[in-house]
Structure 1
């Protein structure tokens, strides 16, 4: 008796995550259609508006007033997962302290951008929240003819 199609699908779902991701990675790497294409910074638009908007958006996501899905197009999968975890921790902390979700009030003090390699740009955005000043660091990579954030940190 051979396994039916639904049984095979069930076995794939029950398989350990590392096995599935390794298998998926092999398939994606083997297929040239899914390989990310690096794009030189000279072929891309000015990153300053994107860096400024990403910094503002990340602060709003962490504070709970913006949905993280709105950033998915502009960040890599690793950044998305990291931001999702940080957002969940911030939501739990607000709930434990019984504080409502409020839109952060801040002023952008400065944006500094430096090209490190042909397709990578590092940036720092300094935000003034009144009682405190924070820096948001962003690393943009030129992938598939657009900028994507491969690292974002709120300091």
Structure 2
């Protein structure tokens, strides 16, 4: 019994699957990814949280937008009060260039660090204020969302 035909078939199938995966990967590489970031802020601390967000976090996001990692940023507050469990006080919706920019692009990390060093020369103050900003939260969660066409 000759093994070559079987091995040849296995190799062709393996490379075919690999090629399909590469095509699928290339097709989704440029698909924007939307992430909603929800913040539930401790009662009475919303003003301070927003001040620190505007001072430290928003400028970094704008830098990443200028670099093309982010397509759009939208910040919203609810108009009416919500019940305690599902309550959120601030929602930031970011449309990223692609999945890598949203979750795992090493170039993002490099550019974020460079922007942080450029914008905030005193890293101790920046780090302290970011620690304070997060201490003002009761809860924070991130949700990757998909557009649905009914």
**Structure 2-normalised TM-score?**
0.27
Larger radius of gyration, structure 1 or 2?
2
Higher share in helix? 2
**Structure 1-normalised TM-score?**
0.26
Looking at both structures, which has the greater relative contact order when contacts are Cα pairs under 8 Å and sequence separation is at least 6? 2
